[in-house]
Amino acid sequence: MPATTPRGYPYSIPSDPADVPQAIEDLARAIDLDVDAVADTITARPMFRLTGTTPISFPLMVAPIEDLPMFFDQVDANVGGALAPLSGPTRQIVPALPGFWWVQCTITIPRAGSTNLDAIGASLQTPTETLVRHNTHIPPPASDGSNNLVVSSGVFMNGTTDYFELIASINRTALTLGSYTINRRYMLAFRMTES
């Protein structure tokens, strides 16, 4: 009689009759049953992905440095009840479940359009802290189209009042830049713990 592994996979022992095809079939069936049973216990990790599609413009510049919150108006994915429904364009994104969350945000930086733009940046914030900030001091020239600024971090969220907020910043030497518009931005978040 074959022996079995702790997961129930059969294997032949020296006193078993030599029936290789049957031994292989028994092993294959045991693996298939085990994989099916394990697959039934797997659930998707809570996650969400948002897109901001409405252009956001920095107004005509009156100060050297300006910050603007980025709004999100489209839910691309919401798995496992990770996010409550958005009510219109939203800037403070509240994960609906407590736990440790990994989040990544991307802002598509448009063509510079001016040599007076010294830097553009993105920061990811919670109600109590700035998690991460990224700046580039070489904005894409008009011939290059656009670039992406990416920020990512991990933080514990309480699932009720804690939120993520993406902020874009611009810095320029002269106040003659005029308006500057950001078209697309994205937020992707995964809950990494059960609570």
CATH of domain 47-191: 2.60.120.40
pLDDT digits (tens, 9 = 90+) for 79-131: 999 998 888 899 999 999 999 999 999 988 766 555 556 677 788 889 998 88
- The pLDDT value recorded for residue 83 is 94
Cα–Cα distance for residue pair 105/188, rounded to 1 Å: 6
Terminal alpha carbon distance of the chain = 46
Q: How confident is the model at residue 71 (pLDDT cuts 50, 70, 90)?
A: very high
- The pLDDT value recorded for residue 170 is 78
Give the Å distances, CA to CA, from 54 to 100, 102, 122. Answer: 30, 25, 18
For the record, the structure tokens of 159 come out as 């699932």
Q: Does the pLDDT value for residue 54 go beyond 80?
A: yes
Q: Where along the chain do its domains lie? A: 3-41, 47-191
Cα–Cα distance for residue pair 157/121, rounded to 1 Å: 24
| DSSP helix/strand/coil, 126 | coil
Q: Report which listed range, 85-99, 113-127, 159-173, 176-190, is most confident.
A: 85-99
Cα–Cα distance for residue pair 151/120, rounded to 1 Å: 13
